Chains A and B, each alone.
Chain A
Amino acid sequence: MAGADGDDSLYPIAVLIDELRNEDVQLRLNSIKKLSTIALALGVERTRTELLPFLTDTIYDEDEVLLALAEQLGNFTMLVGGPEYVHCLLPPLESLATVEETVVRDKAVESLRKISQEHSPVDLEVHFEPLVKRLASGDWFTSRTSACGLFSVCYPRVSSTVKAEIRQHFRTLCSDDTPMVRRAAASKLGEFAKVLELDYVKSDIISLFTALASDEQDSVRLLAVEACVSIATLLPQEDLETLVMPTLRQAAEDKSWRVRYMVADKFSELQKAVGPEITKNDLVPAFQNLLKDCEAEVRAAAANKVKEFCENLPEDSREQIIMTHILPCVKELVSDTNQHVKSALASVIMGLSTILGKDNTIEHLLPLFLAQLKDECPEVRLNIISNLDCVNEVIGIRQLSQSLLPAIVELAEDAKWRVRLAIIEYMPLLAGQLGVEFFDEKLNTLCMAWLIDHVYAIREAATCNLMKLVEKFGAEWAQNTIVPKVLGMANDPNYLHRMTTLFCINALSEACGQDITTKQMLPVVLKMSNDQVANVRFNVAKSLQKIGPVLDSNALQTEVKPVLEKLATDTDMDVKYFAQEAISGKHFCLPLEVIERSVQVGGRVFFLPTRQNLLCLLNAKRDCSVQSFDKEIMWLSYPNSIYQTTLPFCTVLCCNTDCIGLIKELPRPVVMGTSSVVKVLLIIIPPPNPR
């Protein structure tokens, strides 16, 4: 490890500290963000003796700089010499935990919590716990709020005398003069209860909980509701009634709607925490009240929980409770005066059908679905449509299709383009459930009409929708129903519609396969290269580039290349540019065997332009020798998921692209392309360092 002990001549501390003091905030911020590098240059000894004291002394700066500092220090253990010296980090973090700005303070607390784990039990008592005590008895409220977040991390690892002190401090903060501190304490009450011995939960926590839950400020009371969940989970069933329920009942009927909202919002958690008996006796009536609350906010929060609440009811009496207690309230909510309430309900109501079964759904729920499908508010209708799958499983979608169609048509023609966009997004789902016949008969025209919408976002979404439909119904279906219509638009007098043809071809070529693309689509694209509008022409170039991978090499050479070469001499400079781009082949994808080869060569560039090729690569991984492959790629996955790795040195890159390049200059992988069809996560191990 070169430079681990620092090099005085190369990195005099003065120079580094100058950087940290730079007048320009941005430069100062940059330097702070690279504080670990500075520490590395100085070595562990001088980091402890020179850098940290400097940082501790200069904690008056822009909050943004302080935030970066607070974050950095949480990862500094190795840089000060390991766990043995980790307590050196406490003084600067202590100061940071007292600043006014909440984000800085929170970050400092987060870092303190992190490094508390790296303290030995002795150090924890000698260094860490006194810090917590100092913060807890600070003058200004900021240090006391910070202290609230630190009790739970040190409590389990200290001696019983110190434990008693910590409990005492927490008690004091729960009745602090400042509401800010009480709020902080209330929000950490549940967390603290979890690390306490059960006896102390009963003797200490309950009284604090009761006091906070009846605080004069509703902002404190509502935080106690959150703590209620954790506390109830900790206590044995027989104690809940006496210790928790009086407070919970009171919260559900609090005069402030904020508290009731919180109860509604946490209802499922509360339900799980108190168990089936109390749910039956207490929570059911409480839930009914929340569904009928005078404030729409509360009703909406409760409506959101209807499905989850019903799902978690004890099985023996579930149906009876729903039918006699919950459903009547739900019926009322369907015609609520507030649209948020209705749309919250619409987003979960379909879920009830799986719980109630076929007959009840048809008799009781179906009328509600139908009413909501006709609601005046588009959100409500959308929410129903977006959850059709639940109903489909229970009663089949046919029951609904009569009402569904007018609702879909109306949304499809809504004056607000965002509404239209939302319904387009559900089209593939609907198509899958309604089946190809129903679709062809009723919805196909809609899908085609969107292609000539006057809003670009709709046309774009419509294009993407076609692609998904083809993926669902197959190439043959596409050839018969969609492709002719799309290609017909190539002769439209409106150039925007002609361009839509190109965009559709871009999207469909892959799903339709080589045959359709070469025989039907390519001629149209090539013909459009003579379009009088330059925008169309350069989109031809882009399209050719895009569909290139699907075409066979013969067509590429004999048909595509001449046209591109002609476009490359176009009078319009954009057309020229894109034609040249296409010719230079940057976006052409490499055939599969090349991918494989490039992977085995190691460090060579490869391309993954499509989902298929990505899959190919994954398959290739299994075929090629694991050893050589593992040097390059540990794991490749899509979409957007993160696989944990145990290997230490890797670069992780998450990108929104379908093209990934891998180059030799690791650890910086380079991402190319911007289209967002497939999201890829790539984890790469750099080759062994030459040094």
Chain B
Amino acid sequence: MSAISASEKVDGFTRKSMRKAQKQRKSQGSSQYRTQSAPVELSPLPQLKDAPSTEQQELFTQKLQQCCMLFDFLDSVTDLKSKEIKRATLNELVDYVSTNRGVLVETAYPEITDMICTNIFRTLPPSENPDFDPEEDEPTLEASWPHIQLVYEFLLRFLENPDFQPSIAKRYIDQKFVLQLLELFDSEDPRERDFLKTILHRIYGKFLGLRAFIRKQINNIFLRFIYETEHFNGVAELLEILGSIINGFALPLKAEHKQFLMKVLIPLHTAKALSLFHAQLAYCVVQFLEKDPTLTEPVIRGLLKFWPKTCSQKEVMFLGEIEEILDVIEPTQFKKIQEPLFKQISKCVANPHFQVAERALYFWNNEYILSLIEENIDKILPIMFGSLYRISKEHWNPTIVALVYNVLKTLMEMNCTLFDELTSSYKADRQREKKKEQERDELWKQLEELRLSNPTLVHGQNRKILKNNNPRYGPSDSSWDNEGKTCSQLG
């Protein structure tokens, strides 16, 4: 949603210069749009601990109201005194709710939530860097953190106070509150997301009525992330919360939860920024499989469907996740998916990127996986053999070749006869494949001729080329020759 100026199209230096600018100014204010008039100067109130107990409650309310005043932190010189007063007051409030009993009377709840909402709920500002890469770039930090941090701290202590009563609080900490809280997870500031994570977890624990709603909204955030924007900073944090939620699911799993696994968690693997939350995601997936092993087959098929095609880094992560799954797999489930799975693994060991090949070959160091392979060697060996045999001869990386030899040796020891058979039939198999290929080409050639002889179709095809502006036919040698001939003929 960032404006692209005409000159950015002219040259590509913007991004770099922007990053440079960012280095100079890394903190950013919230996008407060004319929410209030200029701040009024605050005057300090007496300390809560000095006030007589009869007036304490009144003073507490006053202090909460005082903390509703918002300040501009990008401007580091104005309102210094008031900012300091608010900071001290917030500190005192944090201390007050965490150490005192009996302070959370019913009338205090609306005042407390009002103060919290005013301070933390805000539209997050546009990112300084539209192509923010969480792995490389420094995050933009929230400028008003000195206050916001204390408000988060206060919210947490409020929720954790032994006197806290969800039955009263639910009037204020409602669906709207949760929705706004979830939107804040997109904050670029990791400190803020960390607080939010703990807070949302507490809310999920204390407000039974909000649980389904929270799960649904997290679903929506993820789906939007996967299919619409591909941008959300808090995926890892939300997954971490979900990890512990999944842990507490009752058996048998509800259809809603299974749907969440298959339609949200598995597609999450397609995200470009997978590396930022893969650990948490894999944890969630394995949690599901430990709860209900019958989900193994659809999960692995799902992963195979979304297997990365061009990103080796992601492929390594997928292999890691597969190993985590295989660690907990039941032998009966293993039998169901071994064929498609090992077809993929056989492609991975033959991958020219040595890290991918290496990660796949490490499976053979895992005792449990090895025992599963041995049990099903007659199925797995024919799938793996071709790739391993070929790679043992032609992979560029000597470490991989050495690993492949070890794997071949292990497999040979598992079933010597089969291994010998496969070795002797290797050549014939390759030739058969080649022949099949030729037959396919032949078939398509015939079909192509048929297509060319049909004018309607040729026309349709051509229209498409026009539309895609697709230069399908590059320079070809034969045409050059033609060219030369004509030249000489005419010259």
A-side interface residues toward B, CB under 8 Å?
Answer: 1-4, 10-11, 15, 19, 23, 27, 34, 36-38, 40-41, 62, 75, 78, 100-102, 140-141, 178-180, 183, 216, 218-219, 253-258, 260-261, 293-297, 300-301, 304, 339-340, 343-344, 347, 377, 379-380, 382-383, 386, 416, 418-419, 421-422, 425, 584-586, 588, 590, 594, 597-598, 604-607, 642, 648-656, 661, 663, 667-674, 689, 691
Contact = CB atoms under 8 A, between A and B. Distances in A.
A40 B451 contact: yes
A652 B466 CA distance: 6
B272 interface: no
Contacts of B108: none
Given A180-B224, A261-B1, A648-B455, A295 B125 contact: yes
B471 A656 contact: yes
Contacts of A667: 452, 458, 462
A15 to B, nearest CB: 7
Contacts of B3: 261, 297, 300-301, 304, 340, 344
Smallest CB-CB A-B distances: 9 pairs:
A670-B479, A418-B11, A605-B486, A300-B3, A379-B7, A652-B466, A347-B6, A297-B126, A37-B447
A296 B450 CA distance: 59
Interface string B467-491: 0010101111001101111111011
Contacts of B461: 36
B367 interface: no
A418 B483 contact: no
B13 A418 contact: yes
Contacts of A41: 447, 450
B311 interface: no
B418 interface: no
A343 B7 contact: yes
Nearest to A645: B466
A346 to B, nearest CB: 8
Contacts of B473: 653, 668-671
A661 B453 contact: no
B465 interface: yes
B450 A40 contact: yes
A279 to B, nearest CB: 23
15 contacts: A15-B443, A75-B464, A219-B224, A257-B31, A257-B33, A257-B126, A293-B33, A295-B33, A295-B126, A379-B14, A383-B5, A585-B487, A586-B483, A598-B486, A648-B455
Nearest to A655: B471
Contacts of B443: 15, 19
Contacts of A75: 460, 464
B5 A178 contact: no
Given A101-B227, A178-B220, A216-B179, 10 more contacts: A3-B450, A36-B460, A41-B447, A257-B125, A300-B3, A590-B490, A605-B486, A651-B462, A654-B466, A663-B479
Nearest to B447: A37
B332 to A, nearest CB: 23
Contacts of B224: 179-180, 219
A151 B103 CA distance: 57
B85 to A, nearest CB: 25
B305 interface: yes
A297 B126 CA distance: 7
Interface of B: 1-3, 5-8, 10-14, 17, 21, 31-35, 123, 125-126, 176, 179, 220, 223-224, 227-228, 263, 267, 305, 343, 440, 443-444, 446-448, 450-466, 469, 471, 473-476, 479-480, 482-488, 490-491
Contacts of B31: 256-257, 294-295
B458 A649 contact: yes
A683 B459 CA distance: 13
A37 B457 contact: yes
Given A11-B447, A75-B460, A416-B13, A585 B7 contact: no
Nearest to B221: A179
Nearest to A293: B33
Nearest to A377: B17
B447 A585 contact: no
A34 B447 contact: yes
Say whether chain B's binding surface is mostly helix, strand, loop, or mixed.
helix
Nearest to A294: B33
B457 to A, nearest CB: 6
Contacts of B223: 141, 180
A251 to B, nearest CB: 12
Nearest to B31: A257
A671 B447 contact: no
A180 B447 contact: no
Contacts of B17: 339, 377
A597 B491 CA distance: 12
Contact of B453 (A2, A216, A607): A2
Contacts of B490: 590, 594, 597-598
A421 B34 CA distance: 42
A418 B13 CA distance: 7
A257 B444 CA distance: 55
Which of B6, B125, B444, B469 has the largest number of chain A CB atoms within 10 A?
B6
Contacts of A671: 471, 473-475
Contact of A10 (B1, B2, B446, B456): B446
Contacts of A3: 450, 453-454
Nearest to B472: A653
Contacts of B343: 23
Contacts of A339: 17, 21
B453 A37 contact: no
Contact of B123 (A257, A606, A691): A257
A4 to B, nearest CB: 7
Given A295-B125, A649-B459, A673 B487 contact: no
B483 A672 contact: yes
A41 B443 CA distance: 11
B475 A62 contact: no
Given A296-B126, A383-B6, A584-B484, A672 B32 contact: no
B123 A218 contact: yes
Contacts of B228: 102, 180, 183
A303 to B, nearest CB: 9
Given A180-B228, A590-B487, A650 B462 contact: yes
B2 A297 contact: yes
Contacts of A344: 3, 5
A605 B446 contact: no
Contacts of B126: 257, 295-297
Contacts of A34: 444, 447, 451
Given A294-B33, A594-B490, A19 B440 contact: yes
A689 to B, nearest CB: 7
Contacts of A257: 31, 33, 123, 125-126
B125 to A, nearest CB: 7
B476 A670 contact: yes
A650 B1 CA distance: 41
A300 B5 contact: yes
Given A4-B454, A419-B11, A294 B32 contact: yes
A382 B462 contact: no
Contacts of A295: 31, 33, 125-126
B165 to A, nearest CB: 27
Contact of A179 (B14, B220, B440, B474): B220
A218 B32 CA distance: 15
B7 A100 contact: no
A80 to B, nearest CB: 13
Given A37-B457, A654-B471, A605 B7 contact: no
Contacts of B7: 343, 347, 379-380, 382-383, 386, 422
A2 to B, nearest CB: 6
Nearest to B220: A179
Contacts of B455: 648-649, 689
B475 A672 contact: yes
B486 A36 contact: no
A1 B452 CA distance: 10
B471 A653 contact: yes
Contacts of B227: 100-102, 180
